[in-house]
Structure 1
Amino acid sequence: MNQDNFNPSLKDKVLQSLNLSVGGFEKKIGLLSTSENNRRIQILLSMSEGKIININDLTATEEQIDDQSALRRLRELDLINWDQNSGDVTVAYPFSGVPTPHRVTVAGKSPAYSMCVIDALGIPSMYTDAVIESECAFCGEEITIDVKNNLPVAQPNTVIVGLGTTGAANSNSCCDSSCGPNEPTSVATSCCPAIQFYCSEEHWQKANEKNAMTAKDKLTLAEAFEVGAAVFGSTLSSSKGE
């Protein structure tokens, strides 16, 4: 997808709505060295096929000291996270290492999971056509989005995307074992669980009435697809590091 067609003000509005810094994801990648970014891309390529990545397998020998350093850097920047107990990678934006409500099948690949709806809608722009399978966060109705030639077509055709936060951003600790006790809360904890599909605006409104924090704003499917592509479309590109 040609990113020159993106509306940067829409992406910035979404990031601000989620209390995230404008350009944060791209800036983080720009801080990476070539070797650090290459490791990030290798993990993404494996996870895009639904593979389980274990951090211990990547740092098994002393000769892999560079990998250990790169992975620590990726974790510090909240680009890659893993379970402290098992070592399995749980987060590699936009992919999830554990099942979520959002399953994405890129053409020619095995199914994978995304962290949230925006992530799911951004994955096709990284590769090619894809099918996204999810559900309404209010009623559980099945939602399917077929992306071909950069055009998302949803069933039902009344699908919208709700934006919110979980409140964890104001907490001093993560809610699961993917983060250490002294690490800041990741986007995966503070935002991803509250960025969801709704089968209709009516159900988004009902969800907002029930909990305005987790459903405080909304986007059309086309708007959400544009934001996802703007954030993740170039995520497999090289960094601006060394």
Structure 2
Amino acid sequence: MTSADDRITRFNAEFGITLMNDSQAALPPPLRDLHRTVLTAFVNTGEAPSTNWVSEQAARFGLDPDQALGALDRADLVHTADGAVTVAYPFSGVPTPHRVQLDDGATSWAMCAGDSLGIPLMAGRDATISSADPHTGEGIHIQCRDGAFTWQPDSTVVLVGATTGCGTAAEAACGHVNFFADPVNAEAYLRAHPAVTGEIYDQSDAVEMGRFIFGPLLDR
């Protein structure tokens, strides 16, 4: 049987997307520390750091700020626009359909359904995830307690989808990695969007995907 790790690695390779755990591991240590600092800021505040703040942190690690931001951008780990971080997978600096409330902590937006599962696993925190089935609009709510997930509705699945001809994970995949209230809705979404290639993950595989990609990023 193919593991969730193998499935997502193969799927992303098909679309030329490097997984965030692999991208971070390839960074030199000071740049890796800067990346973790950006992620920690999202965990602590739920808000997108400014590029000025990231530049200050880069200098603290002995990095040239412009070169550091450029390197994180090329690695498809952190993207900025209009003076702020807009993408720092698993976090989004702008609202998305996927909202993550850390218990006794900040509320943030995730780039996609898989990323929202990755946030509590990466942070080592309990959380509540709120999203919606894009095919029907039905609300979806997921609780993470001590690393175990409870799903409502309990038939919820995750569609991992992507389109070709796009450069970053945000462009190719994030808009097509969504929760669906049941597999039938996910299949209907794929039929309605023929440009999207996708695979349906059950809850266990979806959680393992989030753990595999995002679990190592803060080096807990």
Per the shorter chain, which TM-score range?
0.7 to 0.9
TM-fit CA distance, 1:160: 0.7
Residue pairs, 1:120-159, within 5 angstroms: 120-126=116-122, 127-159=124-156
Structure 1 stretch displaced more, 189-198 or 201-210: 201-210
Higher normalized contact order (CA 8 Å, seq sep 6+, divided by chain length): 1
Alpha-carbon shift at residue 23 of structure 1 (Å): 6.9
Shift of 1:10: 1.9
- The residue identity in structure 2 corresponding to 1:141 is E
Is 1:161–1:224's contact at 8 Å kept on the other side of the alignment? yes
Q: Summarize the Cα distance change of 1:216–1:23 in structure 2 as closer, same or farther, 3 Å threshold.
A: closer
Which residue of 2 is the match for residue 102 of structure 1? 98
1:24–1:209 distance in 2 versus 1, CA, 3 Å: closer
> Which stretches in structure 2 are left out of the alignment for 5+ residues?
none
Name the amino acid aligned to 2:9: L
Return the alpha-carbon distance in structure 2 between the equivalents of residues 153 and 37 of structure 1: 32
Q: CA separation in 2, counterparts of 1:24 and 1:156?
A: 29
Partner of 1:11: 5
Provide Cα deviations, 1:186-232, integer angstroms capped at 9, x if missing partner: 11111110000101122112112212443632011121011111111
Find the aligned partners of 1:221 and 1:45 in 2 and give their Cα distance.
Answer: 26
TM-score by length of 1: 0.80
TM-aligned CA distance change 1:78 to 1:8, over 3 Å: farther
Cα distance in 1 for partners of 2:26, 2:187 equals: 39
- In angstroms, what is the RMSD of aligned CA positions? 2.5
Q: Which one of the candidate residues 38, 45, 52 is aligned to 1:43?
A: 38
- Count of matched residue positions in the alignment of Structure 1 and Structure 2: 215
Which residue number in structure 2 is paired with residue 80 of structure 1? 78
SS of aligned partner of 1:59: helix
Alignment of 1:178-197 (within 5 A): 185-197=167-179
Secondary structure of 1:51's partner?
A: coil
- Distance in structure 2 (CA, Å) of the matches to 1:27 and 1:8: 20
Change (3 A) 1:82 1:22: closer
- Partners of 1:114 and 1:215 in 2: how far apart? 21
